Amino acid sequence: MVNTSVVLSGITLSNPVIPASGTFGFGYEFAEIYDISILGSISIKGTTKEARFGNPTPRIAECTQGMINSVGLQNPGIDKVISDELPRLRRHFKKPIIANISGFSVEEYVFCCEKIDKEECVGIIEVNVSCPNVRDGGMSFGTSPESAAAVTKAVKAVTSKPVYIKLSPNVTDIVSIARACEEAGADGLSLINTLLGMRIDLKTKKPVIHNKTGGFSGRAILPVALRMVYQVYEAVKIPIIGMGGVASAEDVIEMMLAGAAAVQVGAANLVEPYACKTIIDSLPDTMQKYGIENISDITGGAH
């Protein structure tokens, strides 16, 4: 009998499979089609201080083995998430969840993280530093070690729960940013977020996405994600949640061998709503196929 359980910052998950933020709503939507209690955890939709309608349409474009999105953090705002969305999710999912927080200034990150930290159902706070810093010319907080560290330090000062920083791959050196977050007190890291991409409509000869570019995700980015998780694992001592192109139990194992302690599944949920269930159901047989008894033992096994 294989053991699929993993531990993230003292929190035991029954398996390492977690739907990624932005691809699974607030979770309860999927409870209509299967028992979501089988999931290791859920990273809920990215939450900001104020409600956001998101970017103008079109904001989705299909690609070979992937997709581009420019949804723009559409969400009802932190207060509504706490008052409405979390209680709805709690009716279907009793395990600790991962709250994904976004902001456009350090103060916004602090405001939202301090509020969500008080929610009993939240096990881990995942801080998305891929947002544009409105006070620094619009560059993402995650593009420099200094900015990422500043957010990490500020958030850690007002929270008691583990804080995982979600890193952008759209950088020259992700390792230096990961180290800066660790030094600033991060309890863990999530990587990778989407790559920057675009599509052009041949009939109109214009970009498909209204905002021209968007986040490229899906199976095509798995090799990039694996490379970055592998590099960061060698550079830090804190746990990593790996993501980017994961769509099968084999992908989960590959990501963990690269260095992930747990794995998030993103775009696959948008293509196949049962993706996470299928991965979890097939994980024990896949582990046996490759002679794995305890899945937590394989983290970093490729090093």
Alpha-carbon radius of gyration of the chain:
18
Looking at the annotation, which residues are catalytic? 131
- Neighbouring C-alpha atoms within 13 Å toward the C-beta of 243: 30
- Neighbouring C-alpha atoms within 13 Å toward the C-beta of 128: 24
Angle made by CA atoms 174, 211, 263, in degrees to the nearest 5: 40
51 vs 76: CA distance, rounded Å: 4
Token reading at 18: 């977690």
Place of tokens 């096994």: 301
Cis amide linkage into residue 192, ω under 30° from 0: yes
In the three-class reduction of DSSP (H, G, I as helix; E, B as strand; rest coil), residue 65 is classed as: coil
